[in-house]
Amino acid sequence: MAPPPEQKAPVGRYTGTRVPRVEDARLLTGAGTYVDDVVRPGMLHACFVRSPVARARFGAVDVSRALRLPGVHAVLTAHDLNPGVHEQWYSLNGRDDPDTPRPPLAEDEVRFVGDPVAMVVADDRYIAEDAAELVVVDYEPLPPVVDYAVALQSPESVHASHPGNLVGQLAGRPMADLGPVFDNAPHVVSRTLHQQAHGPVPLETRGIVAEWTAAPGEMTVWASSQAPHEVRSFCARLLAVDENRVRVVVRDTGGGFGQKVMPQREEMCVMLAAVRLPAALKWIEDRQEHLLAAGQARHEHGEVRMAFDDDGRILAATLDHVQDAGAYPTPSPVRSGIAVGLLFPGPYRIPEGTFSSRFVFSNTSGRVAYRGPWQFESMAREVVLDAAARRLGIDPVELRRRNMLRHEDLPTVNCHGMPYDHITPYETFEQALEMLDYPAFRREQEHARAEGRLLGVGTCTYVEPTAGATPFHSTEGATIRVEPSGKVSVHVAGGSCGNSLETTVVQLTADALGAAIEDVGTVQGDTAVTPFGGGTGGSRSGSMTAGAVAETAAGLRARILAIAAHRLEVSVDDVEFVRSRATVKGRPEHGLTLAEIADIAYFQVHALPPDLPAGLEASGRYRTPHPMIWANATHVCTCEVDPRTGAVKLLRYIVSEDCGPMINPSVVEGQIYGGTVQGIGGALYEHLAHDDDGNPLATTFMDYLLPTATEVPVIELGHVETHGPGPGGHKGVGEGGAIGSAPAVVNAVADALAPFGAEITRLPLTPATVVGLLERSGAVAV
């Protein structure tokens, strides 16, 4: 997956080129600062006492032995911490949005294995862990609700406040309205597909340091987070502290993938405890804790029905969708879950359709966001399209060609009212197939089958909403300051969590101002000095930071040109400003450097043009006028399945992406690579499995399998470029790889097994699962 050779930026133009990542020197030499690198004077450490059972009542928690252990400062229970909660709502949902119960520490009842019951505070983590083992909790086991799929019929309730275990539900038009269409359709294909629980599993687990300074009543938080300003707002609400008394610092974050957008219960506990302690408090999650309690995603199923005419054109489609929310979803899954139904039509002409989505509590760890939280819409739609093609006797590529939106169809709205424009699904589809040489693969597949080898090909084409999808994500700010030395600092809210905002923001700023890129640096992730912003999530950062930088730089550049024109005694129209130097058109030897212009702005204010303010600093805020900016892509995967072992070997993997003009092709490609590998893991390997009693079966990387470089083929990339409606035409790219990859892999395996009539209904496609499919189809002896 090596990127193409590095390109040099043309003079005065950096956006669109492979500028080397500015953060690499720090990260590759081990000089990054992650939250566990933060050390404060007298700092204390936290460890949680966690429930060993999925559901039980408990009474008093005996902490006496733990408190006697030297080095232990406190053992805190719900009685100590939970009354300190003032408000605990997330900005994404808003104050009045109904949310699910979320006590910092379990009260009276534990609801999943790993539920935090008490928090030990000690001199170091080792002592805290020893003390945690001395805490005595008497559990009275209760019947757990482990299988979300039957939770709605269970007499047991995960939360007494939600009898029947329904978190919430949303639906389009009644399913019965489409009855006549399905009744009269020549062909109806129906499948129920189950996707397993798996999680974001970032390289860096969750972590937080909180330090309370009592005299001024100020809280400083160092966090591993995608959204420092959300952590700040949440902390202020939680503790009833003025927001300007809370500072959140996010330096380097080793991945988040949605899981680290919002503080969860453990972070709440650390914040609440910090105000009671004489020193800073640190909690760093270990990997077993992470797999136990950091949250799960993707656990859902849906019944898909599609009606077709005799030519294979879609007449109608429905999705009856049920999603596992776990015990403590963060945030409430209803708001994000509705996207599954709304986006289910994807990039196809589906004249009529509807959906129903239900979100269900279970006694497992809570649902969290994961890169493309609505990914099931693509999984369900694309897998059923392949099943329909086999049923109708049409090649799955041809079936898609007959139904896919094309340029002449745009703008349009899907059958649920979602407006589509500036997308190219058909173009990416054809480009990816051409890169594969689809007819040649089908010939190779035919020869392989004659030799007893099982080859398959699968595709997935999707559209995804990026910037502007929610009010929370619709605005972003920037502050740009030209220092007296002529160097440029750009402040934005984001942070270093693997998406290279440090590099792309520098590129955008250098171009917007006309500065040399080596003169530009960025400050991110510190709420004390950066403008408010929504953080990274929802594939929003490229478009929104481009807007914020453009909005801010325009006025600042005008001031730079005005100062230069005044000193050079020419009109502003006669000034060119490129690579941090202002010159007079036609007389390049006659000019000023940005350092000289800054010197005038700060130290020779008497020489400034009349009415021009001193200094060179500006703040601006971009607000997208677009309800949604769409990106799209096609994934194509080929594989070989060993019928004896069930092993799946990926042969080729191709992605054709349209995210608009690329700010940095290397960054775009890195995002696609990473997301694609995550989707491959979800299709073939990863599974947060539980037994019937709710005990997790994968709490180490010996059991929770992740794809490595050995399992992942070279990922081949193609690009189709259409301008989106936002600044610079840039669209989002962060989540797409994870949305399109798993369905493409599943379809490739299904295609390999097609001669035996095996239909995939459950994931992941482990060797045992594949062998089971072949056995049930009679392809191999049981």
Q: What is the domain-level CATH number for residue 755?
A: 3.30.365.10
CA distance 667 to 673: 10
Q: What is the gyration radius of the CA atoms in the chain, in angstroms? A: 28
In this prediction, residues 651-655 reach a mean pLDDT of: 98
Report pLDDT for 13: 87
761 and 638 assigned to the same domain = yes
Report pLDDT for 537: 86
**Of the candidates 712, 710, 705, the residue with the CA atom closest to the CA atom of residue 655:** 712
Does the residue 247 lie in any domain? no
Does the residue 396 lie in any domain? yes
Does the residue 484 lie in any domain? yes
450 and 496 assigned to the same domain = no
Per residue in 714-729, pLDDT (tens digit) is 999 999 999 999 999 9
CA distance 170 to 337: 9
616 and 483 assigned to the same domain = yes
CA distance 575 to 562: 9
Confidence of residue 5 (pLDDT cuts 50, 70, 90): very low
643 and 705 assigned to the same domain = yes
CA distance 523 to 749: 46
Q: Which residues contact 356 (CB under 8 A, 6 or more apart)?
A: 169, 170, 171, 172, 175, 319, 320, 321, 341
Please report, as a single letter, which amino acid is at residue 303.
Answer: E
Does the residue 12 lie in any domain? no
**Of the candidates 400, 373, 458, the residue with the CA atom closest to the CA atom of residue 760:** 458
Domain of 707, in residue numbers: 375-469+626-777
Q: What is the dihedral of CA 78, 83, 85, 88, to 10 degrees?
A: 70
8 Å CB contact between 387 and 352 = no
**Of the candidates 494, 618, 620, the residue with the CA atom closest to the CA atom of residue 229:** 494
CA distance 657 to 672: 9
Does the residue 718 lie in any domain? yes
Average pLDDT over the chain, rounded to an integer: 95
CA distance 88 to 103: 9
503 and 604 assigned to the same domain = yes
Enter the tokens of residue 37.
């690198």
Does the residue 715 lie in any domain? yes
The reply to whether omega before 707 is within 30° of 0 (cis) is no
Q: At which of 623, 644, 666 does a domain end?
A: 623
Report pLDDT for 472: 67
Q: Which residues contact 518 (CB under 8 A, 6 or more apart)?
A: none
State yes or no: pLDDT of 434 exceeds 90: yes
CA distance 734 to 543: 11
DSSP 105: S
Backbone torsions φ then ψ of 461, nearest 5 degrees: -120, 135
536 and 653 assigned to the same domain = no
3-state secondary structure of 139: strand
State yes or no: pLDDT of 318 exceeds 80: yes
Q: What is the dihedral of CA 497, 498, 502, 504, to 10 degrees?
A: -130
Enter the tokens of residue 212.
């309370």
Query: How many residues in total does the chain contain?
Result: 782
Backbone torsions φ then ψ of 720, nearest 5 degrees: -115, 130
Cα angle 763, 765, 769; round to 5: 95
3-state secondary structure of 529: coil
Residues facing 708 on adjacent strands: none
563 and 643 assigned to the same domain = no
Confidence of residue 10 (pLDDT cuts 50, 70, 90): very low
432 and 533 assigned to the same domain = no
In this prediction, residues 538-549 reach a mean pLDDT of: 92
Per residue in 352-366, pLDDT (tens digit) is 999 999 999 999 999
Report pLDDT for 9: 42
Per residue in 670-716, pLDDT (tens digit) is 999 999 999 999 999 999 999 999 999 999 999 999 999 999 999 99
Using DSSP bridges, classify how beta strands 56-62 and 136-141 pair: parallel, antiparallel or unpaired: antiparallel
CA distance 760 to 639: 15
Q: At which of 623, 644, 672 does a domain end?
A: 623
State yes or no: pLDDT of 470 exceeds 80: no
Using DSSP bridges, classify how beta strands 352-361 and 314-326 pair: parallel, antiparallel or unpaired: parallel
Which residue has tokens 């038009």?
Answer: 173
CA distance 339 to 628: 13
700 and 638 assigned to the same domain = yes
**Of the candidates 737, 159, 772, the residue with the CA atom closest to the CA atom of residue 498:** 737
In this prediction, residues 116-120 reach a mean pLDDT of: 98
In this prediction, residues 514-532 reach a mean pLDDT of: 96
CA distance 615 to 612: 9
8 Å CB contact between 425 and 369 = no
8 Å CB contact between 755 and 641 = no
DSSP 576: E
